[in-house]
Structure 1
Amino acid sequence: MRGGEMDRRSFALALFLVVAGLTPVPARADLPDGFVYLRDVAPDIEQDMRYAGLNNFTGAPVPGYEAGECVLRRDAAEALKRAQRSAQALGLSLKVFDCYRPERAVRAFGAWARAREDGRTKSQYPHLSKDALVPHYIASQSSHSTGLAVDLTLVRQGAGDRPPLVRDTCTAPPHAPAAQADDSKDKLGNTANAVALGKLGPGELDMGTSFDCFDRASNTAFPGLTPEQRRSRDLLVTLMERAGFTNYPAEWWHFSLARAANRRSHDFPITSRPQQ
């Protein structure tokens, strides 16, 4: 094929993708076919990938999370980009906590739940015993492993320099932290401290509980919310549903892409995004 003809075909393909509302993201050799790094599709979505560091309900980096990157199926990433555009029109932004989850991470969650209680992350399940978390909160299978599910919240744009608030337990009202208890860092350079699990990041809307709060207060329709918390949850659900996602009623932060084909689970590790 002559170079001029190839250039015309490449241009026509790129034009089609733009008109169709899709993002012409190059394939990555390190990801299975159909998967993309969210940064390649919607780089303006904030990422706080909890399971790659210490700030999660296990208190340690989770197997399979070798880098703090959001990986999704391409169709889910494109839908999330649409939700982000709607959020930005309101002066807000999406912030993701978890995206694709390797099956080995799901197994690690189960092993953690069966292990002896050490109390380190009790603030994330203040009203339950650890062995009561299975199977309602910690299951043997996860829709995240298909690459079609995402955990996220909403943040105010331009609020990155605001100090974070904290919760003493995942259901407690947020307040200003008194002091940082420990400045140790995990392998990704994230700072860990005694109140990290209850942190409400800079600019995050108050949803009534922190992410991964194993409590009935995390139910999306929980009746004991303040009017502000109710509006924040309802807005998140509305933005995500308009983009094609459905909410898991037990967790205000969890959404899955509806009407997606081929929901096969995967177990490839999440690695660093190659530099372009």
Structure 2
Amino acid sequence: MNLQKLLTGLAAGLLLYAQTGLGSVWAAVPPDAPKDVKHILGFYYGNGENILIRENNGRLELLYRFAESDKAFGGANIYPLTKEHFDAYLMTEAGPMSASEAKVRFERDPDGYGIACRVGGHTYSRYFFGQGVGERAKAFRFPAHTAEEWTQLRKQAAEAVMPEMLAAGTAAQLVDAVTVAGIKVDSRYALADNCFGAPLYTTSKLMLAKEAAAALAKVQQHLAPYGYGLVLWDAYRPWSVSKLASLALPVNQKGMLDDPDTKGSAHNTGAAVDVSLYSLATGEQVEMVSGFDEPSLRQFASYAGGTARQRYLRDLLRETMELYGFKGIEMEWWHFDYSPSTNWAHLNVEVR
């Protein structure tokens, strides 16, 4: 290959890099953080203030936010911590006119979980969000219903009629998700291991619009060189299931889901998916910043906490999905809508 061809090839590669915006994807995946470090990462509060401790490429950082409305800590000040010895660090704040230092120490419970962070003379208590490495709280569940109550709710949802206005638009041709080569189907609402604590579906089969399935196949191919594949947690959801979920919600938490009688769910169209990643080498699902359906700060797509590896994998997923026609949302890092500008019709077709 002559020099001109080499330069032309490099220029083309740089152009593709710039056009796709996959800067974080091209970087090497960060190494995993040790478990003892993960056990002190998280959200701490006290003195009317909130701080976040995260790992960033082998080093701890303290993030201080000024506005509680900054849910993802995107505008927080970042202070690197220099380790002195186990659970003892030094935080240095340097400026053009002055500099200051503060001792940062962590307290753990007998199981090794961080429960407090002392910064100088101030103590911040740990708030646990949910299950996961470093989080000792139980997985989120809505208040449980009895078997008899679920039977009544299912009957009520099955008898409900989807509003005609929701049927307007392009009706998707649904295909089985297993037709997408390499994708893993882990239907979270087919079993009881979900936020409702009960299965909402009568089958573990997941369907989706054929256009969305074709796009997921491209995502799968794109991810393979990085060593990852897609895990599909949810896809098409019949309108009656959205109605069931809404009926099952406590009265004071009805706003957590879109009203099925006025707006419906994007999942009713077959063009919305909830996805994560799995390792091609091990077949295991990767560790993300938060769990599925975890109503916490960690669910935000731009959440600044966790480990560098977790954030990398979350961003790899998002950037690759959006490269092939999907659009993510800020509230849930796992949720994506295919071709959101299309007026997809809501469907109420039972999956068998």
TM range (shorter): 0.5 to 0.7
Structure 1: gaps spanning 5 or more residues: 1-31, 116-130, 161-202, 272-276
Contact 2:178 2:185 in 1 (8 A): no
Contact 1:66 1:269 in 2 (8 A): no
Q: Which amino acid aligns with 2:176?
A: Y
Aligned length: 178
Distance 2:281 2:273 in 1: 23
Q: Which structure has the bigger radius of gyration?
A: 2
- How far the C-alpha of 1:260 sits from its partner, in A, is 5.4
Shifted more, 238-247 versus 256-265: the winner is: 256-265
Distance 1:158 1:226 in 2: 21
Distance 1:75 1:251 in 2: 22
Q: Which amino acid aligns with 1:52?
A: A
- What SS is found at the alignment partner of 1:86? helix
Alignment of 1:56 onto 2:179: no
- The structure carrying a bigger strand percent of its residues is 2
Query: Which residue does 2:304 correspond to in 1?
Result: 223
- Among candidates 73, 80, 104, match of residue 216 of structure 2: 80
- Among candidates 178, 200, 205, match of residue 39 of structure 1: 178
Q: Which amino acid aligns with 2:272?
A: A
Q: Percent of aligned pairs with the same residue?
A: 30
User: Could you say if the C-alpha distance between residues 259 and 106 of structure 1 is closer, same or farther in structure 2, counting changes exceeding 3 Å?
Assistant: closer
- How far the C-alpha of 1:269 sits from its partner, in A, is 1.4
- Among candidates 277, 289, 292, match of residue 208 of structure 1: 289
Q: State the TM-score, normalizing by the size of structure 1.
A: 0.61
Distance 1:220 1:261 in 2: 23
1:146-194 deviation line (CA, Å, top 9, x unaligned): 000000101101313xxxxxxxxxxxxxxxxxxxxxxxxxxxxxxxxxx
Contact 1:246 1:255 in 2 (8 A): yes
Bigger relative contact order, structure 1 or 2 (CA pairs below 8 A, ≥6 apart): 1
Distance 1:85 1:55 in 2: 29
User: Could you say if the C-alpha distance between residues 33 and 234 of structure 1 is closer, same or farther in structure 2, counting changes exceeding 3 Å?
Assistant: closer
Q: Which amino acid aligns with 1:53?
A: L
- After TM superposition, which residue ranges in structure 1, 4 or more long, deviate above 4 angstroms? none
Q: State the TM-score, normalizing by the size of structure 2.
A: 0.48
- How far the C-alpha of 1:248 sits from its partner, in A, is 1.2
- How far the C-alpha of 1:84 sits from its partner, in A, is 0.7
Q: Which amino acid aligns with 2:229?
A: S
Where do residues 242-257 of structure 1 align in structure 2 (5 Å cutoff)? Answer: 242-257=323-338
1:30-65 deviation line (CA, Å, top 9, x unaligned): xx871111222x132000001111111111111xx2
Contact 2:172 2:345 in 1 (8 A): no
- How far the C-alpha of 1:79 sits from its partner, in A, is 0.6
- How far the C-alpha of 1:223 sits from its partner, in A, is 2.0
1:110-148 deviation line (CA, Å, top 9, x unaligned): 111126xxxxxxxxxxxxxxx34x32x322221010000
Alignment of 1:108 onto 2:108: no
Contact 2:172 2:269 in 1 (8 A): no
